[in-house]
Structure 1
C-alpha cells in the first residue's frame, strides 16, 4: 500500500510599496518644505528691499547688501532641508528602480545651495541700490553661477530617474510629469537671456515640483 504526501502550492510573492517610517517621513519633510520656504522668503525680501526688481534681478542677489544675511541664511536652510530630503529618499527608494541615483542627485542639488551661500552672486542691474551694471564676472560670482547650473541639472536628472520609480509604482501620470518638468526647467533657463523672469520661473518650477513629487511618495500606499 502506498500513501501520497499532500503538496502545497507556494503562495505567490507580491511586492508592496514600502510605507515610510517615522524617521524617513521627518527627513522627507525637508523635500516638502525646502521649495516653499525658499521661494516665500525670496519673494518677501524682493518686495521689501530697496532697488530690487524681479524683472531685472535674480533672487540670488538678495544675499548682497545690508540685509543680505537673510538670503544667505535662506540658502543654508534650503541646503539642510534638501540634504535631509536626499537621505529620506535613499531610505525610501533604496530597493526600487532609481533608488540609488535619485537621492544622490538631490544631494548634489542641496550642495549647490550651500555653494550659493558661500559664493554670493555679483551685484548688478541696479541692485544693491546704486550698483553699476557690469558684464564682468568675479570669481565668487562665477562659482555661484556654475554651482547653480550644476545643481539644477542634477535636479532635472533626479526627476528623470524618479520617473522610473514612479512608473514602477503605477503612477504613470507622475512618471510622465517627471520627464516633462526637466524640459520646462531647461527651457526657462534658456530663455533667461531675454528676461531674468524666465530663469526665476524655471527655478521655482523645479523647487515646486520637488515638493509635489515628495508629497506623492510620502502618501503612497499602493
Structure 2
C-alpha cells in the first residue's frame, strides 16, 4: 500500500475541511445576525449595531455566534496558509484573516456598552470593556479591509483581473461602510447605523465565502507561484 499517497489524501481532505470553514463561518454569522435582529423584542436592526445583540435577553446566542464564527475563521486561515504556500499574499493574507477571526472570539465575552436605545432603558455610559470591544471592532474591520487589498494582488497573479477588482471593490465597500457606520452612530437618532454596518458585514462575508470556494476548487498544480 502506498503510504505516501494515503498521507497526501489525508492532508488534502483535512485541508478541504479547513477551507470549508471559510464558507461556513461568514454565512453562519450573516444568517444569525439577520435572524436575531429580526426576532429580538425591542431591537431595531435598522438602527442598532449587531454587537448589541450580545446584550439583553438571549444575548448568549450572539455571544456564541461570535465565538463559533471566530473559531471557524481561524481554521480557515490555517487551511488557507497550507494552500497558499508561495506567491503574493500567501503569508499576510492568512495572517490578516486569522486576526479577523481572533477579533470575533475576543468580542464574544467582551460585551459592548448599550447604545442607540438598546437594551431599552440601559445606561450608555462608556466602560472599560465597552471601549475594548470597540477597539477590537476597529481591528476587525481593519484586518478584513487589509486582507482584501493584500489578496487582490494574489488574485491578479493567479485568477485574473476580474477577481482582483472584486477584492479591491470589497475592501473599499467595507471601508466606506465602517466610516459611514461610525459617523451615523454619532447622530442623535442613530440614523441607519445598523443597516450600514450590515452592508459591510454581508459584503465582507460573501467575499470570504467565495475566496474559500475558489481555494477549494483550485487545482493543486496552481498553488505554487514561481
User: What TM-score results when the alignment is normalised by the length of structure 1?
Assistant: 0.85
Larger mean Cα displacement after TM superposition, 119-128 or 146-155:
119-128
Please tell me the root mean square deviation across aligned C-alpha atoms, in Å. 1.5
Map 1:1-222; keep pairs closer than 5 Å.
21-132=12-123, 134=124, 136-192=125-181, 193-194=183-184, 195-196=192-193, 197-221=195-219
Partner of 2:151, secondary structure, is helix
- Stretches of structure 1 lacking an aligned partner (at least 5 in a row): 1-19
Shift, 1:52, TM fit:
0.5
Deviations 1:81-104 (A, max 9, x none): 000010011000022221011000
Q: Give 5+ residue unaligned stretches, structure 2.
A: 1-10, 185-191
Describe the superposition over 1:168-196 as per-residue Cα deviations: whole angstroms up to 9, x where unpaired.
Answer: 21332101111121111111111112331
Instruction: Measure, in 2, the Cα distance between the counterparts of 1:119 and 1:83.
Output: 18
The answer on whether the counterparts of 1:50 and 1:129 sit within 8 Å (CA) in structure 2 is no
Shift of 1:137: 2.1
Deviation at 1:205, TM superposition (A): 1.2
User: Which one has a bigger Cα radius of gyration?
Assistant: 1
> What TM-score, normalized by structure 2, do the two folds share?
0.84
Note if contact 2:67-2:105 (Cα within 8 Å) is conserved in structure 1: yes
Which has more helix, going by share of residues? Answer: 2
Aligned CA distance change for structure 1 residues 170 and 29 (closer, same or farther; 3 Å): closer
Aligned length: 201
Farther off after superposition, 78-87 or 47-56: 47-56
